[in-house]
Amino acid sequence: MTMAQRKKTKKIVLTIVMLILALIYIYPVFLMVINSVKPFGEVIMDVIALPSKIEWSNYTYVMDKMQYGKLFLNNVIITVIGIVGIIVFSSMSAYIISRKKNKYTRFAQFMITTPMLIPFQTIMITLLKVMNVVNLSGSKVGLGIQYWGFGIPMAAFIYGNFMSTIPKELDESAFIDGAGTFRTYRSIIFPLLKSVTFTVIVIDVMWIWNDFLLPLLMVNSSNETKTLVLSAYTFVGQFNTQWHYAMAAMVLAVLPSIIIFIFLQKYICQILHQTSHGLSSLLTSSFRYILPVTYLQNLRNPHHIFLTGHLFSVLLLYLP
């Protein structure tokens, strides 16, 4: 077998393996979708079977019960505030750190990236108490601001990897023409970060939009501040769970972030090809979200399928 044939065979095998993995990830989501249009009795009888009749009324009931328009707006406000802060502060910090190499910027880089290593669960009680003190708990704006602290470390890391590929001669030319540091960043450097910025937007939108634990801690006390994912769990009760409505609610909750990913996924491919370390870091930091997929071994349990919908937006990032 020649070298070219071996490469072709390896590529075919890799494609088959990735296709199988993609199907494993997508299959529970397929079950979630088909069960969202079933009557309750059919969901209980057989989760895997196709619906005998499509019940679109599940979606109309869920949208009315959830007050979908209001919760959608809540998600938009929280996500936009979070994304804008993450992009602005992470790109500016990455620019300064990449251009000014000294002990102070090295210390700043250490302080910015270290939080990636700290699990959220270890600080969530302290965070809740601090947010109560500064009156940011129970507020959509406050929740959006809190995402800055969790999103900036990863975004700064991604920006920093790409920033090192931008020639410093551009900065020097701008300084010669009289531009200051901020003007250089705003007018010359930031426009060059288009692909990185779209990558950060996609990753963080899918994270913030579908996040459950932080909104549960901060904005779950009032229906005026709830998010879509929180409201979806309204249909999951301790003694009685309306699985057909729960599935429909989760589809409605994750659908906007999936649409955003489909339109912007090409930028993720671009940046991951340019920064190989970015991919390994993304996989490492997000691995805690992928681990729960082990429950897919029991796909006949509606609860497992329901939870898969919550994880689906994260898993999409790793499909071929």
Is 11 within the bounds of a domain?
Answer: no
> Can you give the pLDDT at residue 272?
58
| 77, 144 Cβ separation under 8 angstroms | yes
Number of domains within the chain: 1
Is 35 within the bounds of a domain?
Answer: yes
Is 1 within the bounds of a domain?
Answer: no
Is 65 within the bounds of a domain?
Answer: yes
> Can you give the pLDDT at residue 269?
65
Is 81 within the bounds of a domain?
Answer: yes
Domain that holds residue 156: 16-318
> Can you give the pLDDT at residue 239?
57
> Can you give the pLDDT at residue 316?
43
| 83, 264 Cβ separation under 8 angstroms | no
- Residues ≥6 apart with Cβ < 8 Å to 186: none
> Can you give the pLDDT at residue 287?
38
> Can you give the pLDDT at residue 259?
85
> Can you give the pLDDT at residue 294?
34
Q: What is the CATH number of the domain that holds 203?
A: 1.10.3720.10
Question: pTM for this one?
Answer: 0.75
Is 291 within the bounds of a domain?
Answer: yes
**pLDDT tens sequence for the chain (320 residues):** 678 888 888 889 888 998 898 888 888 888 888 988 998 888 888 888 888 888 899 899 989 888 888 899 999 999 999 999 999 999 999 998 888 888 888 888 888 878 878 888 788 888 888 888 888 888 888 889 999 988 999 899 889 888 888 888 888 888 888 888 888 888 889 988 888 898 888 888 888 998 888 888 888 767 778 888 888 887 776 556 788 888 888 888 888 888 887 777 776 666 555 554 444 444 443 333 333 333 333 444 444 444 444 444 444 444 44
Is 2 within the bounds of a domain?
Answer: no
> Can you give the pLDDT at residue 271?
58
Is 4 within the bounds of a domain?
Answer: no
Instruction: Render 136-175 in DSSP notation, one character per residue.
Output: -TT-HHHHHHHHHHHHHHHHHHHHHHHHTTS-THHHHHHH
- Residues ≥6 apart with Cβ < 8 Å to 149: 115
